[in-house]
Structure 1
């Protein structure tokens, strides 16, 4: 049992989240294993991003339990939670970069918040993180308004990696990107996950991403996880929503051989 517990990065049990009279997550349970890329899919407005934001503490829950890296959020002191927050990084859907800061300053921001580093060292670390995501020194002094969509995502990913996290949360990382840029970003995520040993929790609707990078997929319908497993299990699932999503017309168009080359 001890081994099982240590192999789970995120444990969610009987989670209930709602807004007013609307219940968004209805006694949802899910485990995310250490070192895996888990893709979370579901209908628009079905609670995928709500789940991510509740796990990291941006939204309150009504009931249920959440443990991250063995820390029970309900029992943790403020000091323990602050230490835990250093162990994850987040890429929000539109990048959420600070428009008044340069690319380098955006990546430095979590370090200013959590680490006592000299200006020189903080800058050096930021430049190293930008290099990891394929950006150059010339890019570092640009402002977010000067970046393409793909570059914005890369900067946001570099910032998510700034504190050398164990878990990275990605909210629709390829949304708004053209297919080539999205494919490049998928490859980058997979490479970084393997190189750094990351656990990746990825909310996405991108079928190509699911095929290319995810070890397992969890499908959210009506506020619950109704199916989870590798892509093969999703393709074999008889639930109507899962079947329509993974075997419908758009799914067949997406399922070309290139999707499987990175798996």
Structure 2
């Protein structure tokens, strides 16, 4: 279900981020609508992952405001901010699983951080989340080094869903996967979004993902949003980068 334009779950206004002398984000504004899958694209190194990390508080901004669930994350007190953080889940690039922890411990990590529950309930949550992402219970005792790339992404998604979030950030979730694995992961994300009512902010460069999984697309360029809309809007745009990206050689099979 696509989101309601009047009800953004994330509201970013005039965000600027600088690394040394380089301004990566320069007055960027963006809404993520409730219930949508928003695909966030742009040139390599443009700052797509930087925006994700800025929203969740891992990268400091030098200007602008960020509201999530109506809460200004800069002015919120620690209790209010922690309550917001519990309502989102994050899948980082390459999964970012803790290599010294097994799958069970990785999935339970955010639950232990926010809730005081019994080990029995923790184990039940682990098995439920593994099933949700299409993995068998016996995977729980494996370590990340024993998993395929696709399984790592699914375990990372299970961890992101551990606290039953309303909002999920996915940073290049299909990167490194073969086309079949990437397609299966896109289908999984779409299914979970529909069944759980999730709002999804997905950083991606995968044209197939944009076509099959996303309700709307936002494009980053020169530190700002240069376009936002449906796939039809992207295909109709005359912007040089959008034309190169959505009508280039790699796009032909997908668009056709």
SS in 2 for 1:233: helix
Q: Mind listing any 5+ residue stretches in structure 2 that lack a counterpart?
A: none
Distance 1:174 1:255 in 2: 19
1:15 corresponds in structure 2 to: 15
Task: Report if the CA contact (8 A) 2:92-2:170 is conserved.
Answer: yes
Distance 2:43 2:197 in 1: 30
Distance 1:209 1:73 in 2: 30
Distance 2:65 2:5 in 1: 15
1:204 corresponds in structure 2 to: 204
Alignment of 1:114-153 (within 5 A): 114-153=114-153
1:52 corresponds in structure 2 to: 52
SS in 1 for 2:117: coil
Give the TM-score of the pair, scaled to structure 2: 0.97
After superposition, the C-alpha distances for 1:149-182 in whole angstroms (9 at most, x for unaligned) are: 0000000000000000010000000000000000
Task: Report if the CA contact (8 A) 2:5-2:33 is conserved.
Answer: no
After superposition, the C-alpha distances for 1:72-94 in whole angstroms (9 at most, x for unaligned) are: 01210011111111000000011
1:26 corresponds in structure 2 to: 26
Distance 2:88 2:6 in 1: 17
Distance 2:149 2:77 in 1: 38
SS in 1 for 2:39: strand
Task: Report if the CA contact (8 A) 1:208-1:255 is conserved.
Answer: no
Distance 1:10 1:243 in 2: 28
Alignment of 1:46-195 (within 5 A): 46-195=46-195
Q: CA shift at 1:6, angstroms? A: 6.6
Distance 2:157 2:62 in 1: 31
After superposition, the C-alpha distances for 1:46-96 in whole angstroms (9 at most, x for unaligned) are: 010000000000000000010001010121001111111100000001111
Distance 2:47 2:202 in 1: 13
Q: CA shift at 1:118, angstroms? A: 0.2
After superposition, the C-alpha distances for 1:121-162 in whole angstroms (9 at most, x for unaligned) are: 011011100100000111111110000000000000000000
Q: CA shift at 1:255, angstroms? A: 2.7
2:237 corresponds in structure 1 to: 237
Q: Mind listing any 5+ residue stretches in structure 1 that lack a counterpart?
A: 257-263
Distance 1:68 1:136 in 2: 34
SS in 2 for 1:201: strand
Task: Report if the CA contact (8 A) 2:89-2:167 is conserved.
Answer: yes
SS in 2 for 1:61: coil
Aligned CA-pair RMSD: 1.1
Aligned residues: 253
Give every structure 1 segment of 4 or more consecutive aligned residues whose post-TM-superposition deviation is greater than 6 Å: none
Distance 1:143 1:16 in 2: 38
Task: Report if the CA contact (8 A) 1:103-1:142 is conserved.
Answer: yes
